[in-house]
Chain A
């Protein structure tokens, strides 16, 4: 099995306060890892640091994506190299249409891969195909990115973008929060259908519920900035029943 992501003794802080206190994690191609943990454990910090959010400072440690130094890359280069974050709170961008946004993103990735820009025809049919996967309306193309979207639509739109960009590493940050059961099913199905033997995902969640739909190979418990326990999917059920106190 090929190693996709390797995190070694990662420490990170925000505003001088240390949040991650030595995270170690190896993710191989084809694997789904769930990261669970109480509020404030550092789950969202981990996703922010992996994607290069400038609000966070990495104080020590190393991260490699397919052997490349991930922390040395600009956020946009990480994205083009295949790291995708489904945001917990997707950002509204008034005045920027989904079409313009998505085409710019796809062409940035294609340029990075040494490919020609996507043709308008190919682009539109790709949009159509992926919208269907997430049961998103046709009128999406002309709407501004996330503007006026309901909570469920925003999360579907994240997975739609993931489907368009075909990342090798998808990080789903609390993708289940604020979703009703139908939206949850659609989002989870979307994620499952995008799974290949070459890509992997990190599913950050508070609740076991999402893991009924997206079945993880490993479950990690993140507490006080460290992974304190790792198990298989049964660990999530155990946590649901007994909470985090006994970890």
Chain B
């Protein structure tokens, strides 16, 4: 699909597999959230001054397996892209993140950020992360970060010391980890509903 000049394309996909190929014209804005589903999103910034935002939140249990794939190309300059992909992996779940970020030689003054954070809640869960950056322009701002970790034991003990049982403390930390992805949803009602639904677990 093609997002024409200055247009805004914004979608939130929940429990729905996503397969999108998007070409952006100058000044257009693409903002996509995918929650709890595999996705493959390809975006080409073909015009100047585009904004691309891709957010993924995968909260996996049992033997669920999810692949999150992004291919973002800045073909021309002055564009911005932000990607934040988070996985929470319980039980024997499997997660896979593939993130290609390409900044072409002509795409000067590009501002591109890709972050992948993963939380392993079980020693049987598994996460594979494959970020790939190709930067051919020299005057750009590009960052990427990938990390996979476990719940902070010292934070768990701190909460237990205040009377919060371990299960609830874990839930509070997991929710805190997921919150910033949901907080970027523009639709007030949907955002609050999703934030409340994760908070509801601990009330």
Given contacts A93-B176, A100-B172, contact A79 B160 (CB under 8 A): yes
Bound CA–CA A145/B159 (angstroms):
10
Bound CA–CA A145/B162 (angstroms):
12
Residue of B154, B163, B168 with highest tally of chain A CB at under 10 A: B163
Given contacts A75-B157, A79-B163, A91-B157, 20 further A-B contacts (CB under 8 A): A51-B161, A53-B157, A76-B161, A76-B165, A79-B162, A87-B161, A93-B176, A95-B177, A95-B180, A96-B176, A101-B172, A104-B164, A104-B168, A104-B172, A105-B159, A105-B162, A108-B165, A112-B163, A144-B176, A145-B158
Bound CA–CA A94/B55 (angstroms):
20
Interface residue ranges of B3-34 to A (CB < 8 Å): none
* Interface pair B175/A101, CB less than 8 Å apart: no
Given contacts A76-B164, A108-B165, contact A101 B180 (CB under 8 A): no
User: Is A80 located at the chain interface by the 8 A CB criterion?
Assistant: yes
Across the A-B interface, give the 10 residue pairs with the lowest CB-CB distance, nearest first.
A95-B176, A79-B163, A105-B162, A91-B158, A75-B160, A108-B163, A76-B160, A80-B163, A96-B176, A76-B165
Bound CA–CA A90/B168 (angstroms):
19
* Interface pair B173/A96, CB less than 8 Å apart: yes
Q: What are the residues of chain B within 8 A of A90 when measuring CB–CB? A: 158
User: Is A212 located at the chain interface by the 8 A CB criterion?
Assistant: no
User: Is B187 located at the chain interface by the 8 A CB criterion?
Assistant: no
User: Is A161 located at the chain interface by the 8 A CB criterion?
Assistant: yes
**Chain B, Cβ-Cβ closest to A91:** B158
Q: Which residues of A pack against B, CB within 8 Å?
A: 51-54, 74-76, 79-80, 84-85, 87, 90-96, 100-101, 104-105, 108-109, 112, 144-145, 161, 165
Q: What are the residues of chain A within 8 A of B165 when measuring CB–CB? A: 74, 76, 108
20 A-B pairs in the complex with CB atoms less than 8 angstroms apart: A52-B160, A54-B153, A74-B165, A76-B161, A79-B163, A80-B163, A84-B161, A87-B158, A91-B152, A91-B157, A92-B155, A93-B158, A93-B172, A93-B173, A96-B173, A96-B175, A101-B164, A105-B159, A109-B163, A145-B158
* Interface pair A75/B172, CB less than 8 Å apart: no
Given contacts A93-B176, A95-B175, A96-B173, contact A101 B163 (CB under 8 A): no
Q: What are the residues of chain A within 8 A of B164 when measuring CB–CB? A: 76, 101, 104-105, 108
Bound CA–CA A154/B168 (angstroms):
23
